[in-house]
Amino acid sequence: MDNRNLEKALEIFSCLVKGEEISANKKETSSLYEEYTDNSQVYDIVKTMCKKMNLSLYEYKDTLYLSPGKSNRVFGYSNEELKKEIGIRLNRELYLCYFVMFGVITRFYSDTSSETFTEYVRSEDVIAAVDGMLASTLKEINLMSLDEVEENSFQAISGLWEELPLVVNEDAISVKASKGSKAGYVKMVFNFMEKQELLLQNDGRYYPTNRLRALIENYFDDYKGELYSLVKGAV
């Protein structure tokens, strides 16, 4: 193995692991992007390292993005870590936040072949999406082979959501992140996704970043799991 190629591959991998983007459009990283795309040995080494460490490497608009693979406990969040990061305590609150995140995603995409023309989402858009998904989920439960734990989990999530008022403050833009309302839950998720550089906010409107687009386009190809199968009829 060529030592130079190994060093370049390690440099690329190191940047990505630190959360940096490697792009052909950035002067600082354009040479590394070229190494990845034009040098087959560098490409193979980087892909092998990602695979061995359960990391997913995505390319979107001449930029590389790294994401933890499914159940990656080293580079991803555990449930407890994620609850602390979002600001919640209970598992049912976390699963509700997952539904909210999925509601954000489905406002932009229904599948990889049909990107919507939605430029941004607002709190009320996501609330409507979650309302629809949970209603669809409860309708489908009797038709699916769910065990008692799964069924009770979905019912608990739906019950928690339905007990919440729509919004505490009449001004939806100024709503604070909290567990006291549907809008408060959405705001907690928005804040988390902003921190992860997945959304950009302007005057109560949330725009998807290229990082989010890269992750979501590949998600629908790689991780069509039970949640997506269950709620796809509502979007």
Question: What are 16-37's pLDDT values in tens digits?
Answer: 988 888 999 999 999 999 999 9
Domain count for the chain = 2
Same domain, 99 and 149: yes
pLDDT of residue 223: 53
Are 13 and 45 found together in one domain? yes
CB-side exposure of 102: number of CA atoms within 13 Å?
26
Shared domain for 102 and 196, answered yes or no, is yes
Same domain, 186 and 221: yes
* Domain identity same for 223 and 160: yes
Residue 215 lies in a domain: yes
Domain extent at residue 8? 3-68
State the average pLDDT for the chain: 81
Give long-range contacts, CB 8 A cutoff, 24+ apart: 92-95. Answer: 92/153, 92/156, 92/157, 92/160, 93/160, 93/179, 95/153, 95/157
Task: Judge whether 73 lies within some domain.
Answer: no
- Averaged pLDDT, 86-105: 89
Q: Is residue 230 helix, strand or coil?
A: helix
Kindly state the average pLDDT of the residues 187-203. Answer: 93
Q: What percent of the chain has pLDDT over 90?
A: 37
pTM: 0.79
Residues 51 and 83 occupy one common structural domain: no
